[in-house]
Structure 1
Amino acid sequence: MQTEKYRGYTLWGHAIVQQEDILQPIHFAGSGTVARDTKVVEASGVLGLFDTDEEAELMGLSWCRAWVDGHG
């Protein structure tokens, strides 16, 4: 999980391992969570599947920034 402060909000980018079968390659589902003053304000659903946990986390943070820009 990656976190950052942005315009008074705390943003989290999440990566959740996705593997349907032991013989299938591992992918990571990306998602994001926006919080303010320790309270969750908004959370995304799954934003897509990515090849690395870092890509998934960065997509989550990107989604969070866009949400703050549009609603914050």
Structure 2
Amino acid sequence: MQTEKYRGYTLWGHAILQQEDILQVERFAASGTIMRDTKVVEASGVLGTFESEEDAETSGIAWARAWVDNHG
């Protein structure tokens, strides 16, 4: 998980391993969560799948930043 502070919110980027068979290449589903203080403000669904955990987390953070820019 990646996290960052942004405009008074805490943003989380999540990577969820998507691998049904050990012979498959690892893929990671991305999602994002926005919190203010200790409360969840908004959470995304699956934003897409990525080949790396870092890319998935970065996508989640980017979604959260865009949400804050449009709603915050």
Question: Aligned runs of 1:24-63 on 2, under 5 Å?
Answer: 24-63=24-63
Q: 2:67 aligns to what?
A: 67
Listed as ranges, the gaps of 5+ residues in structure 1 are none
Q: 2:10 aligns to what?
A: 10
* Runs of 4+ in structure 1 over 2 Å off: none
Percent identical: 75
* AA of the residue aligned to 2:23: L
Cα distance in 2 for residues equivalent to 1:22 and 1:37: 39
CA shift for structure 1 position 9:
0.2
* AA of the residue aligned to 1:66: A
Aligned residues: 72
Listed as ranges, the gaps of 5+ residues in structure 2 are none
What is the TM-score with the length of structure 1 in the denominator? 0.97
Secondary structure in structure 2 of the residue aligned to 1:23: coil
